[in-house]
């Protein structure tokens, strides 16, 4: 599938990966993940170069992997370290692809592109996930849809007034001030309602749920699929820092053209030690993401078949501005990358 | 798929459609059906032109439909009546396709072709379904086969002597007088056995089940998939009007190349108020259509793969006359329609 | 699919076929098998030439088959013997393909190629399956993989040290003397360990399980998919005839590109009347073939998609010698057959 290569993708929550083998298909490749004895994460393509057996059907030998079919061993860099057959010579092609993999902000990130460019400073800042001033509740799920449809869903949050009504519905939200701002390769959609009724999702945590509030909803996209959503309410006239704020992490990694691994979390700045508030968040994530977003996004995928969205000429509304710009920006980044790769390679006839 | 467009297809039994949303894929399109407050049926393509969400995941607002994803509203003609976003301007392309839909004879008919030609007088006469002099028992089912295979099954009723033996078997039936008569675009296959033993399906309702009867079985096909089957027995020498007669309605509408919605009913002229006779009919429809026809037709489809029947060069028997003529007549009607459409359209390079 | 035609394939264990209809898809064709009243096996393509109904949905009429849809009858050679319709004339094309079928060694063999060349003497000798000096335990199963992947698994038995460890593991096996010998169109891989510890699968049956033994494992392949495996242990210095020997029968017949019917048996020369040894064999076949080989082979198929093994450029190890030679020999036999068929046919433009 068409993918941006020189970028970090989330493969898993860090806590999903331990010393046991863990497999997940991402970016159209089957991967094997595990941690070395010292905790360093390992990301290998889960396929032996001998007979294409999944290495995950084999076993660990120290920090190395032994194929369960005919016993070749590979180290964490994918180099073959043992051939138990015949004279034991190791064929030069006996290599497994290994990807740069790093834990950051509680997530395991992998880099599918040019390894020499895998700069950890390019990982988007999701530090809020580990901030001591916030309480974070999150998980992951599968969406049977192209990842850009999931990004569209995030970058056009007007859908909360319909798909997530009444829980997340906000009066006057659709006519609110709406800015779409690009900074380098990130894109932010900002909406503010200066005075409205707090949405149901905030009301239990406000001292006066009926007092008018300023409501804001900002979402920032980093290519290819990392979105950071800030939503808050504050009594009208007060500074936003005094408000109830939730930072949402919404990160998608394509598994294939029509499957997307979706990592989500909500980090709130209030009631940090309140198990009921934790439970409320988990319940909403279950309802909102699994029972409302997922069926809708998958139905859209189903109605589109294997067509690309823009090729089907959707009508475009004001609310599509951010999602369409993100699609175009990503497409141009992939085009640039493809062109650079081609010019860097020798030209074959 | 290749389809006759300018014709009426049955979408549902009228009673299947109420004020709630009802969805069915027909003619390779997903449809949303419901009734307006005044009972008028509505047939819309079940796909929002904005992001291709199924409209059926939204809700009614009066007689209109509101998309459940981003809130566009459409009236029963498919015209967008509300855009809740930005300045609320409605893009000219914001339309949903609506099909002419009408209740007739207890069935809901839709017209996928040129709307200006959707003449209700072109609906085949299935008035027997609502005749007070007949008792009708019917339902519908799915056949995982191309609709022409289901029509073949109906237009070659010699199969009753094998697939539906012994219940519908009739001695001497395969050697009976057999006429195939075309009138305009309808085709009728007529078979008569002048003197035979009544088939088991009629015997319980005859005063002398063992007396020789005249038996007849006529089936008339209207393109694309409407068949009316008359079968009866009468003591030899008596006029047919004095006999036991059943009018079968067998109407197929393609869902896709390999899925067919099959509407069926049996209308009898005897024991109109006899619940046991009703039950007998339901039982036979279950056995004959669901347990005998369906596995056979679906096995044939499976053996044919995605080939067209005639391209596989079946051997042709005398009994195939009507079904093959129906296939050829339908093919020429579709050819004519395609040619007419092309000559009516401006020629693009 | 690409197949050797002029060869015998196993369709079933003989005891699987009785007087009732038995169906199995083999060589990309659906087949109907049954036995005539005199016990002779019949192999017909399971598809009526009239409307492509499976004949297996019909019934026997004596030794003949009556189609369950419209009643055509066929004899065991596939000739149409009755057309119940119209004047009863039988169209010349009303034929069903019948394959030469013969019971030999407890297996039913079919020949999909030129019938005039179907010489029973070309059936590989699996006489050990019925030898009174051996006790045989066997069954069959489905592998969701190309049949050559199953042959590869058999022709490279080094996998027993990994996939079937510890039960079949043999110390020093991978460095053992290994010969690959071709005789005509058969290929044999022979491995011997002159002195080792008996593998767990033999130990319960040895008087001194810890005494060093000579261990051997020879497997002979006959195109397209018949393998005979001899494995044994004998105290060092004794002749092999005095050892514990098992003859494995491993015969694969393709159902389609990615489905393989796999017939297996183990014939031992010890404890012929010991139900516990029988049970031990059944248990091992369940574990080894169903729970170890099958998931691995199917995972390899899944990792390969619909690519051919060699086109994916696997790295080749010493242990691949026999399996790769078998693939090349089979490919050249198919090429030869194709060339011969083409030169024997008139050349059309």
C-beta atoms surrounding A297 within 10 Å: 26
Please give the Cα distance from C321 to C155 (Å, whole number).
9
C32 Cβ under 8 Å from any chain B Cβ: no
| pLDDT for C341 | 84
**E-strand stretches of chain B:** 9-13, 22-26, 29-35, 41-45, 59-61, 64-66, 73-74, 80-82, 101-104, 107-110, 135-143, 177-183, 186-196, 213-222, 226-235, 244-256, 259-268
C-beta atoms surrounding C135 within 10 Å: 19
User: Does pLDDT of C112 surpass 90?
Assistant: yes
C-beta atoms surrounding A294 within 10 Å: 19
* Cβ distance of A86 and C318 shorter than 8 Å: yes
B180 Cβ under 8 Å from any chain C Cβ: no
ipTM: 0.94
Q: Look at residues A178, A180, A161 and name the one whose alpha carbon lies nearest to residue A221.
A: A180
Please give the Cα distance from B217 to B236 (Å, whole number).
15
Per-residue pLDDT of C42-95, as tens digits, reads: 999 999 999 999 999 999 999 999 999 999 999 999 999 999 999 999 999 999
Q: B34 is written with which tokens?
A: 């419901």
Please give the Cα distance from A89 to A71 (Å, whole number).
14
Match 């149409």 to its residue by tokens.
C80
| pLDDT for A261 | 98
Please give the Cα distance from B39 to A295 (Å, whole number).
30
Q: Is the dihedral of CA A25, A26, A31, A37 positive or negative?
A: negative
* Cβ distance of C85 and B162 shorter than 8 Å: no
Window from A280-284, B271-275, C174-178 with minimum mean pLDDT:
C174-178
Per-residue pLDDT of B43-95, as tens digits, reads: 999 999 999 999 999 999 999 999 999 999 999 999 999 999 999 999 999 99
B83 Cβ under 8 Å from any chain A Cβ: yes
Per-residue pLDDT of B101-121, as tens digits, reads: 999 999 999 999 999 999 999
Q: B7 is written with which tokens?
A: 């014709």
| pLDDT for C345 | 61
User: Does pLDDT of B348 surpass 60?
Assistant: no
Please give the Cα distance from A293 to B9 (Å, whole number).
35
According to DSSP, the β-strands at B107-110 and A101-104 are: unpaired
| pLDDT for B168 | 93
Topology of domain A9-121 in CATH is Rieske Iron-sulfur Protein (2.102.10)
Q: Does domain A127-335 have CATH number 3.40.718.10?
A: no
Q: Profile chain A (349 residues) by mean pLDDT over runs of 10 residues.
A: 96 98 98 98 98 98 98 98 95 97 98 97 97 98 98 96 94 91 95 96 94 97 97 97 97 98 98 96 97 98 91 93 96 95 63
3-state DSSP call for residue B325? Answer: helix
| pLDDT for C346 | 56
Please give the Cα distance from A130 to A339 (Å, whole number).
38
Q: Does domain C127-334 have CATH number 3.90.380.10?
A: yes
CATH code matching the domain that covers B126-335, chosen among 3.30.70.3420, 3.40.50.720, 3.40.50.300, 3.90.380.10: 3.90.380.10
* Cβ distance of B319 and C30 shorter than 8 Å: no
* Cβ distance of B68 and A163 shorter than 8 Å: yes
* Cβ distance of B315 and C87 shorter than 8 Å: no
Specify the domain boundaries for CATH 2.102.10.10 within chain A. 9-121
Q: Are C301 and C146 in contact (CB under 8 A)?
A: yes
B50 Cβ under 8 Å from any chain A Cβ: yes
Please report which helix (H) or strand (E) contains residue A232, including its range. Answer: strand A226-235
Question: In angstroms, how far apart are the furthest CA atoms of chain A?
Answer: 81
Please give the Cα distance from C336 to C314 (Å, whole number).
26
Q: How far is CA B242 from CA B92, B193, B236, B270, in A?
A: 62, 17, 11, 10
Closest chain C residue by Cα to residue A83? C317
Match 């399956």 to its residue by tokens.
C129
User: Does pLDDT of C153 surpass 70?
Assistant: yes
| pLDDT for B307 | 87
Of the CA atoms within 13 Å of residue B309, those in its CB half-sphere come to 27
| pLDDT for B346 | 56
* Interaxial angle between packed helices C294-304 and C147-155, expressed in degrees from 0 to 180 and rounded to the nearest 10: 130
Residues whose CB is less than 8 angstroms from the CB of residue C276 and which lie 6 or more positions away in sequence, other chains included: none
Residues whose CB is less than 8 angstroms from the CB of residue B309 and which lie 6 or more positions away in sequence, other chains included: B148, B149, B152, B327, C51
Please give the Cα distance from B37 to A118 (Å, whole number).
62
Q: Look at residues B89, B87, B45, B93 and name the one whose alpha carbon lies nearest to residue B67.
A: B45
Please give the Cα distance from B79 to B98 (Å, whole number).
9
Dihedral of the alpha carbons of A240, A242, A246, A247, in degrees to the nearest 10: 60
- Residue A309: list chain B partners with CB under 8 A: 51
B212 Cβ under 8 Å from any chain A Cβ: no
A316 Cβ under 8 Å from any chain B Cβ: yes
| pLDDT for C205 | 94
Match 């064929």 to its residue by tokens.
A91
Q: Are C49 and C93 in contact (CB under 8 A)?
A: yes
CA of A300, closest CA in chain C: separation in Å? 28
| pLDDT for A186 | 95
C83 Cβ under 8 Å from any chain B Cβ: yes
Q: A6 is written with which tokens?
A: 């020189």
Which long-range contacts (C-beta less than 8 Å, at least 24 apart) are formed by A332-339?
A333/A4, A333/A185, A333/A223, A334/A2, A334/A3, A334/A4, A337/A4, A337/A5, A337/A6, A337/A113
Question: What percent of chain A stands above pLDDT 90?
Answer: 93
Dihedral of the alpha carbons of C327, C333, C338, C340, in degrees to the nearest 10: 170
Per-residue pLDDT of B135-172, as tens digits, reads: 999 999 999 999 999 999 999 999 999 999 999 999 89
Q: Look at residues B256, B257, B178, B260 and name the one whose alpha carbon lies nearest to residue B215.
A: B178
Specify the domain boundaries for CATH 3.90.380.10 within chain C. 127-334
C38 Cβ under 8 Å from any chain B Cβ: no
Please give the Cα distance from C224 to C241 (Å, whole number).
30
Q: Spell B236-261 as b/e; 16+ CB within 10 A means b.
A: eeeeeeebbbbbbbbbbbbbeebbbb
Q: Are C302 and A51 in contact (CB under 8 A)?
A: no
Q: Are C319 and A85 in contact (CB under 8 A)?
A: yes
Across all residues in chain B, what is the average pLDDT?
Answer: 96
Closest chain B residue by Cα to residue C46? B303
| pLDDT for B285 | 97
Q: Look at residues B263, B187, B162 and name the one whose alpha carbon lies nearest to residue C51.
A: B162
| A-interface mutation test, from B30, B50, B69, B79, most A Cβ less than 10 A away | B69
C-alpha A283, offset from chain centre? 21
Residue B210 has φ and ψ, to the nearest 5°, of -95, -5
Per-residue pLDDT of B276-298, as tens digits, reads: 999 999 999 999 999 999 999 99
Q: Which residues between 112 and 171 in chain B have a beta carbon less than 8 angstroms from any beta carbon of chain C?
A: 152, 156, 158-159, 161-163
CA of B337, closest CA in chain A: separation in Å? 27
Q: What is the DSSP letter of C232?
A: E
B277 Cβ under 8 Å from any chain C Cβ: no
CA of C200, closest CA in chain A: separation in Å? 19
Q: Is the dihedral of CA A41, A45, A49, A51 positive or negative?
A: positive
| pLDDT for B345 | 61
Please give the Cα distance from C93 to A233 (Å, whole number).
80
Question: What percent of chain B stands above pLDDT 70?
Answer: 99
């Amino acid at each position: 599938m068409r993918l941006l290569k020189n970028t970090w993708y989330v493969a898993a929550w860090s806590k999903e990966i331990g010393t046991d083998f863990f497999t997940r298909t991402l970016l159209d490749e089957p991967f094997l993940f595990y941690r070395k004895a010292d905790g360093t994460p390992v990301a290998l393509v889960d396929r032996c170069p001998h007979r294409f057996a999944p290495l995950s059907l084999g076993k660990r030998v120290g920090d190395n992997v032994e194929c369960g079919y005919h016993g070749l061993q590979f180290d964490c860099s994918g180099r073959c370290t043992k051939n138990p057959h015949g004279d034991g010579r190791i064929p030069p092609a006996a290599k497994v692809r290994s990807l740069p993999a790093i834990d950051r902000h509680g997530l395991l990130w992998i880099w599918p592109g040019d390894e020499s460019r895998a700069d950890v400073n390019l990982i988007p800042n999701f530090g809020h996930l580990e901030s001591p001033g916030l309480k974070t509740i999150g998980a992951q799920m599968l969406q049977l849809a192209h990842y850009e449809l999931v990004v569209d869903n995030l970058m056009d949050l007007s859908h909360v007034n319909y798909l997530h009504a009444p829980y997340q519905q906000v009066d006057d939200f659709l006519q609110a001030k709406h800015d779409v701002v690009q900074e380098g390769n990130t894109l932010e959609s900002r909406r503010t309602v200066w005075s409205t009724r707090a949405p149901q999702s905030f009301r239990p945590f406000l001292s006066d749920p009926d007092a008018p509030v300023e409501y804001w909803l900002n979402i920032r996209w980093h290519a290819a699929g990392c979105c950071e959503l800030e939503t808050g309410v504050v009594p009208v006239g007060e500074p936003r820092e005094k408000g109830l704020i939730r930072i949402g992490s919404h990160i998608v990694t394509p598994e294939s053209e029509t499957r997307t691994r979706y990592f989500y979390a909500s980090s709130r700045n209030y009631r940090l030690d309140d198990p009921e508030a934790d439970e409320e968040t988990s319940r909403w994530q279950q309802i909102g993401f699994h029972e409302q977003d997922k069926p809708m996004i998958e139905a859209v995928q189903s109605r589109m078949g294997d067509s690309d969205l823009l090729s089907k000429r959707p009508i475009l509304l004001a609310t599509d501005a951010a999602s369409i710009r993100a699609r175009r920006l990503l497409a141009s980044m992939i085009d640039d990358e493809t062109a650079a790769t081609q010019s860097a390679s020798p030209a074959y006839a």
